Structure 1
Amino acid sequence: MSCLILISEFGELIRGIHMIFSIFWWSITFVVIFIIRPANTTGNLSIVLPKIRKVVIFASTVSIISGLIQFGMLFNFNIPSFINSAGSILIVISGFFSLIVYYHILFVTHRGLPSPKPKILAGIVSAKIIPYLMFGLLSATMVSMIIVSSFAFL
């Protein structure tokens, strides 16, 4: 009985950590893309961006790790119960979106060099569109996770 209470409290802790750090990751990304980047026309704010990037890497790492733990706890680490659930595809897609954004954050190069992207996208996607695309993927992840969690914990 006491073991079940501890698991339940641990699940609530993981759920809270995941929610807080996911919202923190999204809000910092919002501020950087829509406030700092347009205001940085002279380059004066470029000193702040590497420090913000370190905070974003920490927040996104905690969010992804806690999301994976929460994902396992939600389905009791049982693959057949995951496959038979209604929100499993949405969880996988939104997790994939957040991993794309996480990959982009980790491997953005410094000193004005371009970020790594597949050769196929080189002519299609402009470098100015990529931050907005990453923010869109992160926003889609947040919305889908809210939808899944509202149905999973009713």
Structure 2
Amino acid sequence: MIKKITTILLISLGALLLSTVNVAAEEHEEIGGWSEDTGYYSNEDESSKDFSIQSATHKGWVTYRGGDNTRIEKAAVGETTWAATHFTRAWLQERNGSARKGQHTVYGSGYTKAQSGWGIHHTYSPDPYVARTGYGSWDAPGPIPSSNEDK
């Protein structure tokens, strides 16, 4: 009986820890990144930048697929080089800012690269999406999460 209760408690604790890591992954915000319409940006105050953050490099761009002029798709691509444990995130943002489409996050240290899901690209009218990328520090306790398709 005690063994059964101990087993149930251990399983419950494990599930709680896993959900905590997933919540922490979603709550980490970008230190900086790139936007197709405004270029590179930083969310850090220059005076408060940690030396390790200054050693990070991040690049973002748009990639396209499709051959005809009526149906071309695009995706955001971001890559980060940083010795610290970090994440790189890529997504398509609706122009009105209301939602992210196809967000993908990759965790690691050294070099990481993320590509968003594909979204329609109009050559004849305003694009419905803006390609965006971001990166940030991963300092949460526990193991680094596996790469994921967030949305």
TM-score w.r.t. the length of structure 2 is 0.34
The structure, 1 or 2, with the larger RCO (C-alpha pairs under 8 Å, 6+ apart) is 1
Higher alpha-carbon Rg: 2
TM-score w.r.t. the length of structure 1 is 0.34
